[in-house]
């Protein structure tokens, strides 16, 4: 008997009909002889609604209390799904993250899983029940409720699949798989049948939110094959798995965009050893994640330094840089929130030169200016003005011939 973890995202459980459709699907998997563990997200956009409510109530939102609030969303879905399963005669039991034994660190809103105990889930399976687990949540080593970061139900599902030794982890969502670009931006984006963990990591890290980044890291580290598919059509989707060494890798598999960053530029930074180190040490000490960095050539012993950080980290980064600028005698700080990163990703670019040139040419032909550049062995990213990002994605998708109509 195979064990499958099935995760259903917010749109998949958005209303009563959707919850009944999910229950039917789980019941069908059981009839086919599979053991099933289900992970659910909060219904529809209810996590956003809860966040908005918290902002309306107070400007001060202690992390512990925010997590207590946000975890309520997934509790609603899990209880309703168990009721829908009960009506179909399928015995099911709901479990919060804490009851499922998902132990995390103490970082509220972005907790990391330290351990998955899962004893109660194993006992439920032995009794012939379907455990239905609230995604996105755990309990900290200090016994407080935590959440795993936005999109964290994917991470719950993969962590449970690894811990329970599941044969596969199915991620059901509102698109039929991982596409060569977000189908909402590129209507003729192509569904990818199989993609390596490495490429999927880059896609998830650069804005392809179909899978949460940490869930892909978990799947790669614990060798859990993922099947991303639609809960609307139930058709076969995309397998995310180890790279197949016998297959030639596509030069470019996907194009992504991400508008969650801000660019900060500090002018007239003294061009001396140790100054950049003190800037980025001060940012690191305040847990500010820095992505791209550009330092201009020096004029008169000073230089301009630009870097990007997440919009959520911008207030902290601003405070840190302004405090340091005074100390080191730098010039002024400017902040640009209207930027976006566009990326092309493909394992085959390791061995095929020319991808950068094609990318730059196609952005130039679309009249899009490149502000910053960063690369990995299988990715090239450019920072562009946010209002040109979607046009950039479509231009790159076309330039690399990724569309459905391709012969
Ligand atoms: P869920 O609520 O099921 O977790 P998400 O909204 O988190 O769903 O993720 C699914 C969405 O990801 C899709 O609706 C799609 O717009 C978006 N997306 C972005 N990039 C891609 C991509 N390359 N392939 C498929 N979907 C993508
Ligand atoms: N409900 C949470 C969110 O909206 C977790 C998830 O959907 O994966 O981020
Ligand atoms: Mg998601």
Nearest CA to ligand 1 atom 12: 210
What pLDDT, on the 0 to 100 scale, is given for residue 246? 79
What pLDDT, on the 0 to 100 scale, is given for residue 404? 82
- Say if ligand 2 is within 6 A of residue 156 CB: no
Ligand 2 centroid to Cα of residue 149, in Å, is 8
What domains sit in the chain, N to C, each tagged with a CATH number?
3-174 (3.40.1160.10)
Characterize 57-90 residue by residue with b for buried, 16 or more Cβ atoms within 10 angstroms of its Cβ, and e for exposed.
eeeeeebeebbbbbbebbbebbebbbebbeeeeb
In this structure, what token pair is assigned to residue 293?
A: 């960095």
| CA separation for the pair 165, 132 (Å, rounded) | 17
What pLDDT, on the 0 to 100 scale, is given for residue 407? 42
- Say if ligand 2 is within 6 A of residue 44 CB: no
Ligand 1 centroid to Cα of residue 301, in Å, is 47
* Model confidence pLDDT, tens digit, residues 32-52: 999 999 999 999 999 999 999
- Say if ligand 2 is within 6 A of residue 172 CB: no
* Model confidence pLDDT, tens digit, residues 202-257: 999 999 999 999 999 999 999 999 999 999 999 999 999 998 887 888 899 999 99
| Mean pLDDT, residues 340-364 taken together | 95
173 pLDDT above the threshold of 50: yes
Q: Which of 210, 227, 344, 402 to mutate to test the pocket of ligand 1 (most atoms within 8 A of CB)?
A: 210
Q: Which of 175, 228, 233 to mutate to test the pocket of ligand 1 (most atoms within 8 A of CB)?
A: 175
| CA separation for the pair 274, 294 (Å, rounded) | 16
- Residue 299 is classified by DSSP as B
- Which pLDDT band, with edges at 50, 70 and 90, does 405 fall under? low
What are the residue ranges of helices labelled H in 286-377? 314-328, 355-365
What pLDDT, on the 0 to 100 scale, is given for residue 400? 96
273 pLDDT above the threshold of 70: yes
| Mean pLDDT, residues 3-22 taken together | 98
Mapping DSSP to helix (H, G, I), strand (E, B) and coil, where does residue 352 land?
coil
| CA separation for the pair 61, 145 (Å, rounded) | 15
- Say if ligand 2 is within 6 A of residue 42 CB: yes
What are the residue ranges of helices labelled H in 33-175? 46-57, 63-87, 119-126, 153-164
406 pLDDT above the threshold of 80: no
Residue 208 Rama label (left phi>0; alpha psi -120 to 50; beta): beta
| Mean pLDDT, residues 296-315 taken together | 91
Percent pLDDT > 90 in the chain is: 93
Ligand 2 centroid to Cα of residue 148, in Å, is 9
Nearest CA to ligand 2 atom 9: 150
| Mean pLDDT, residues 171-176 taken together | 98
195 pLDDT above the threshold of 80: yes
Ligand 1 centroid to Cα of residue 71, in Å, is 21
| CA separation for the pair 269, 279 (Å, rounded) | 10
On average, the pLDDT of the chain sits at: 95
Kindly report the number of other CB atoms within 10 A of residue 28's CB atom: 13
Contacts with 164 (C-beta within 8 Å, 6 or more apart), sequence order: 3, 5, 37, 118, 121, 122
Contacts with 115 (C-beta within 8 Å, 6 or more apart), sequence order: 101, 103
| CA separation for the pair 4, 334 (Å, rounded) | 50
What pLDDT, on the 0 to 100 scale, is given for residue 352? 86
Nearest CA to ligand 1 atom 7: 210
The ligand 1 site (C-beta within 6 Å) comprises 9-12, 41, 151, 173-175, 178-179, 181-182, 184, 203, 208-210, 254
In this structure, what token pair is assigned to residue 391?
A: 């046009």
Ligand 3 centroid to Cα of residue 250, in Å, is 26
Mapping DSSP to helix (H, G, I), strand (E, B) and coil, where does residue 325 land?
helix
Measuring CA to CA, which residue among 192, 188, 198 is closest to residue 345? 198
* Model confidence pLDDT, tens digit, residues 59-96: 999 999 999 999 999 999 999 999 999 999 999 999 99
Residues recorded for the chain = 407
Query: 185 and 256 in contact (C-beta within 8 Å)?
Result: no
What pLDDT, on the 0 to 100 scale, is given for residue 30? 96
Ligand 3 centroid to Cα of residue 6, in Å, is 13
């Amino acid at each position: 008997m195979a064990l499958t973890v099935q995760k259903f995202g917010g749109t998949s459980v958005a209303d009563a009909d959707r919850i009944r459709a999910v229950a039917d699907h789980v019941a069908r998997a059981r009839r086919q002889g599979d053991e099933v563990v289900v992970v659910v997200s909060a219904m529809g956009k209810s996590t956003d609604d809860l966040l908005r409510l918290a902002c309306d109530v107070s400007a001060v939102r202690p992390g512990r209390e925010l997590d207590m609030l946000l975890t309520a969303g997934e509790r609603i879905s899990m209880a309703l799904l168990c009721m829908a399963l009960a009506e179909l005669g399928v015995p099911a039991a709901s479990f919060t993250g804490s009851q499922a034994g998902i132990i995390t660190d103490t970082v509220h809103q972005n907790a990391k899983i330290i351990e998955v105990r899962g004893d109660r889930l194993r006992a439920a399976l032995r009794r012939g029940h379907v455990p239905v687990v609230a995604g996105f949540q755990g309990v900290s080593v200090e016994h407080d409720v935590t959440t795993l970061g936005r999109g964290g139900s994917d991470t719950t599902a993969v962590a449970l699949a690894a811990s329970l030794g599941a044969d596969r982890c199915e991620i059901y969502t509102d698109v039929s798989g991982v596409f060569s670009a977000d189908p909402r931006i590129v209507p003729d984006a192509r569904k990818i049948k199989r993609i390596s963990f490495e490429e999927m990591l880059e896609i998830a890290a650069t804005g392809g939110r179909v899978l949460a980044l940490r869930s892909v890291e978990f799947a790669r580290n614990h060798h859990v094959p993922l099947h991303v598919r639609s809960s609307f059509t139930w058709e076969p989707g995309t397998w995310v798995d180890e790279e197949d060494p016998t297959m030639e890798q596509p030069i470019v598999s996907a194009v992504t965009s991400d508008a969650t960053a801000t660019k900060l530029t500090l002018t007239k930074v003294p061009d001396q050893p140790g100054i950049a180190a003190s800037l980025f040490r001060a940012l690191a000490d305040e847990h500010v994640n820095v992505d791209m960095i550009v330092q201009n050539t020096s004029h008169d012993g000073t230089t301009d330094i630009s870097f990007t950080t997440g919009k959520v980290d911008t207030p902290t980064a601003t405070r840190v840089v302004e405090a340091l600028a005074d100390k080191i005698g730098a010039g002024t700080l400017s902040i640009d929130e209207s930027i976006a990163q566009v990326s092309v990703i493909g394992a085959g670019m390791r061995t095929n030169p020319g991808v950068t040139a094609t990318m730059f040419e196609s952005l130039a032909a679309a009249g899009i200016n490149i502000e910053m550049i960063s690369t990995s062995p299988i990715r090239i990213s450019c920072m562009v003005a946010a209002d040109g990002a979607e046009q950039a994605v479509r231009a790159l998708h076309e330039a690399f011939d990724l569309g459905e109509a391709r012969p």
